[in-house]
Chains A and B, each alone.
Chain A
Amino acid sequence: MSETDTQTTDGTETARRPGRERGREDGKFGRYGGQYVPEALMPAIEELTDAYERYVLDNEDGFMDEFRRRLADFGGRPTPLQRADRLSERYGRDVYLKREDLLHGGAHKLNNALGQALLAKYMGKERIIAETGAGQHGTATAMAAAHLDMPCTIYMGERDINRQRPNVFRMKLNGAEVKPVTTGRGTLKEAISETMRDWAATVEDTHYVIGSVVGPHPFPVMVRDFQAVISEEAREQAREKTGQLPTDIVACAGGGSNTMGAFAGFVDDGAVSLHAVEAGGSTLEVDEEAGVAPNSASLYTGEEGVLHGARTKLLQDRDGQIMESHSVSSGLDYAGVGPELAYLVDEGRVNPVAVDDDAALAGFHRLSRTEGIIPALETAHAFGFLEDHHEELGDRVVVNVSGRGDKDLEAVIEETDQREIAGAPDMSMFTEGI
Chain B
Amino acid sequence: MADEPTATGDGDRSDSADPADSAARVTAEGTRANSAAIAEAFADGPAYVPYLVVGDPDAASSKAYVEALDRGGADVIELGLPFSEPIAEGPTIQEALVRALDAGMTPDRFFAFAEGLDVDAALVCMTYYNLIYQYGAASGPRPFVERAAAAGIEGLVVPDLPAEEADPLREACDEFGLDLVFIVAPTTRGDRLDRIMERVSGYVYVQARLGTTGARSDVSEQTTESLDRLSGYDVPKAVGFGISTGEHAERIVAGGADGVIVGSALVDIVGDGVANDRPTAAVADRLESLSRELKEGAERGYAARVGAAESQ
Binds A, one of B20-28, B69-77, B207-215, B248-256: B207-215
Which of A38, A304, A314, A320 sits near B160, CB closer than 8 Å?
A38
Contacts of B129 in A (CB 8 A): 36, 306
Q: Is the CB of A320 within 8 A of B135?
A: yes
Tell me how far the C-beta of B83 lies from the nearest C-beta in chain A, rounded to whole angstroms: 7
- Which chain A residue lies CB-closest to B207? A40
B226 to chain A, nearest CB (A): 11
Residue contact A36 to B192, C-beta cutoff 8 Å: no
Q: A201-B212, A320-B133 are in contact. Are A39 and B183 (CB under 8 A)?
A: yes
B278 to chain A, nearest CB (A): 24
Nearest-neighbour CB distance to chain B for A193, whole angstroms, equals 5
Given A38-B160, A42-B162, A320-B130: A308 touches B85 (CB 8 Å cut-off): yes
CB distance from B164 to the nearest CB of A (A): 6
A39 contact set on B, CB distance < 8 A: 159, 162, 182-185, 188, 196, 207
- Is B162 a contact of A319 with CB atoms below 8 Å? no
Which segment, of B45-53, B86-94, B115-123, faces chain A?
A: B86-94
The dominant DSSP class at the A interface is mixed
Distance from B217 Cβ to chain A, minimum over Cβ atoms (Å): 16
Question: What sequence of 0s and 1s flags, for each residue 365-381 of chain A, a beta carbon within 8 Å of any chain B beta carbon?
Answer: 00000000000000000
Specify which of B87, B98, B107 is in contact with A197 (CB 8 Å cutoff): B87
Using known A-B contacts A39-B162, A200-B210, determine if residue A46 contacts B192 with beta carbons closer than 8 Å: yes
Residues of B within 8 A of A319 (CB): 106-108, 131, 134-135
The residue on A at minimum CB distance from B88 is A38
A204 to B210 CA separation, bound complex (whole angstroms): 10
Report the Cα distance A163→B159, complex, angstroms. Answer: 33
Interface check B101, CB cutoff 8 A: yes
Chain A positions within 8 Å of B108 at CB level:
319
Report if A254 contacts B (CB, 8 A). Answer: no
Q: How far is the CA of A291 from the CA of B87 in the complex (A)?
A: 19
Complex CA distance for A373 and B67, rounded to whole angstroms: 64
A46, A307, A309, A314 — which one has the most chain B CB atoms within 10 A of its CB? A307
Q: CB-defined interface of B151-167 with A at 8 Å, one 1/0 digit per residue?
A: 00000000111101100
A196 touches B162 (CB 8 A): no
Is there contact, CB below 8 Å, between B207 and A305?
A: no
A321 near B207: Cβ-Cβ < 8 Å: no
CB within 8 A of B183: which of A38, A184, A204, A306? A38
Q: In the assembly, what is the distance between CA of A37 and CA of B192, in Å?
A: 14
Q: From B91, which residue of chain A is reached at the shortest CB distance?
A: A183
Are B86 and A193 in touch, CB under 8 angstroms? yes
Q: Are B83 and A321 in contact, with the CB atoms below 8 A?
A: yes
Given A200-B87, A319-B108, 18 new contacts (CB under 8 A): A36-B160, A37-B162, A38-B160, A39-B182, A42-B192, A43-B185, A43-B187, A43-B192, A193-B85, A193-B86, A197-B90, A202-B210, A305-B130, A308-B87, A316-B130, A316-B134, A320-B131, A322-B130
